[in-house]
Amino acid sequence: MSQLATQAPAVAAPRSPRSRRTTRTNYELYGWVFMRASGVVLLVLIFGHLFMNLIDGEGINAIDFGFVAGKWASPLWQVWDLLMLWLAMIHGTNGVRTIINDYAERTGTRVVLKSALYLSFVVVVVLGTLVIFTFDPCPAGSPADLLPSFCEA
């Protein structure tokens, strides 16, 4: 009896569907929605930024250290530029991540490219955020004609 069982012919395994590592999260969904929402917000932010810097008032000739320092002394422009920085960086990084996923076939290539991408994301976002919040509009010992008007000698 037991011999019968042991001598049973090896049956070929049924055609097994490729194992696809299932990811039961909503990350890709949120990413997809974020790209669309941030895209709309970025349109407003970027064109508002371009208008204020290049067209409004004296136009492009007004841009100098004083102009930028004056803007960043105002909470509105701090928030505006911070939002623009973060949204643009996340939007762009997610887009490039998608492109890497689409075009880099080898796992090694994908890991290297994405690591470089995330590293540059961190560097740019950290540096940009630091600049916006720690910016000194009136550095000591600078000629007064280069500084914004509210600086005291």
What are the residues binding another protein (CB under 8 A)? Answer: 15, 17-18, 20-24, 26-33, 101-103, 105
Give the rounded distance of the alpha carbon of 42 from its chain centre: 12
**Sign of the Cα pseudo-torsion (64, 66, 69, 73, in order):** negative
Closer CB to another protein, 33 or 130, in the complex: 33
The CB-of-48 to another protein minimum distance in angstroms stands at 28
CA distances from 128 to 20, 145, 148 (A): 39, 26, 21
Residue 71 near residue 137, CB atoms below 8 Å: no
The CB-of-141 to another protein minimum distance in angstroms stands at 54
Residue 148 near residue 66, CB atoms below 8 Å: yes
Closer CB to another protein, 48 or 95, in the complex: 95
Closer CB to another protein, 103 or 118, in the complex: 103
The CB-of-29 to another protein minimum distance in angstroms stands at 6
Closer CB to another protein, 12 or 76, in the complex: 12
| Distant-in-sequence, close-in-space partners of 34: CB < 8 Å, separation ≥ 6 | 90, 91, 94
Residue 63 near residue 53, CB atoms below 8 Å: yes
Rounded to an integer, what distance in angstroms lies between the CA atom of residue 50 and that of residue 108? 40
Closer CB to another protein, 19 or 149, in the complex: 19
The CB-of-90 to another protein minimum distance in angstroms stands at 16
The CB-of-92 to another protein minimum distance in angstroms stands at 17
- Residue located via tokens 């600049």: 131
